[in-house]
Amino acid sequence: MKDSQIAVGNYTYPMYSFEYFLNSMERLGVHRIELWAAGPHFYLDDFTPERTRTLAGQIRSRGMEVVCLTPEQCAYPISISVEDPVMRRRSIGYFKKAIDAAVVLESPKVLVTPGRSMVDYDRGTGIRLCIEALGELTRYAEERGVVLVLEALARTTTFIAHTPAELQVLLDGVGDTPWLRPMLDTDGAARENLTSRDFLDAFGERLSHVHFIDGFPGGHVVPGDGALDMERYLRELDEGGYTGDVVLEVLDRRYYREPEEAIRRCLQWFADHGVRNR
């Protein structure tokens, strides 16, 4: 793996301005970012196309690029598989706005998750609604040249998809297309006793995005601060020939007051484990 594959998300900086985040990335020598579309930096409903272009200009003026746009979607009121048709339509519209924003930001990818169906409702209905929504969003993204990367979620968040096999059900439901691809979250995988190898074996070259964070599992902490075998996750990605983006999604509140130090330690962890431009 090369250090040019590493990108940093603004997840660690919610107590600081977006300008501070960009300044911090400059100090750390980071030029590739994943943009978490949430307050206070970039809550989609607060941004007009003009404001989005201004934000894009801030990023480009520093020689940085957005590798993925990740709209906040793991809490109410966003879910593409919920049974309530009003909430579901609004959620689909929200993701379409994210795709449009990605075009302005020149982000090649938008991250999407299965959403939540109610536990006391029929699971099959939730899966069907999720597939229908993903199909609509994939067609919309294709028309705009944006790839959707699909992430499984923890059982405490959804019962739609937690494993590669369950992600494959959604991918098969949408149909064979390069515009909807699977991704790996290392902490999410660990909650299912899975590793990088399980995702690489299931998806091969289709695996298009990685969130690389430690956990207990759970926590999304700096590599080395948790209990996961991060060396194994890294080694398996390397041995599997993974060449896509590896994003630091560090969002534990313990780091919010000193986020730059947390990201500095993440980058040092990669350097200590031989990840360099090679």
Say how far apart CA 222 and CA 145 lie, in whole Å: 33
State the CB neighbour count (10 A cutoff) for residue 173: 14
For residue 39, the number of C-alpha atoms closer than 13 Å in the C-beta half-sphere is 2
Band of pLDDT at residue 278, cut at 50, 70 and 90: very low
Query: Mean pLDDT, to the nearest integer, of 83-104?
Result: 97
The pLDDT value given to residue 277: 55
pLDDT at residue 267, rounded to an integer: 97
Contacts of residue 235, defined as CB under 8 A and 6 or more positions apart, other chains included, come to: none
Instruction: Give the percent of the chain with pLDDT over 70.
Output: 99
Cβ 154 vs Cβ 188: under 8 Å: yes
- Average pLDDT over the chain, rounded to an integer: 95
Identity of residue 149: V
Query: At 76, is the pLDDT very low, low, confident or very high (cuts 50, 70, 90)?
Result: confident
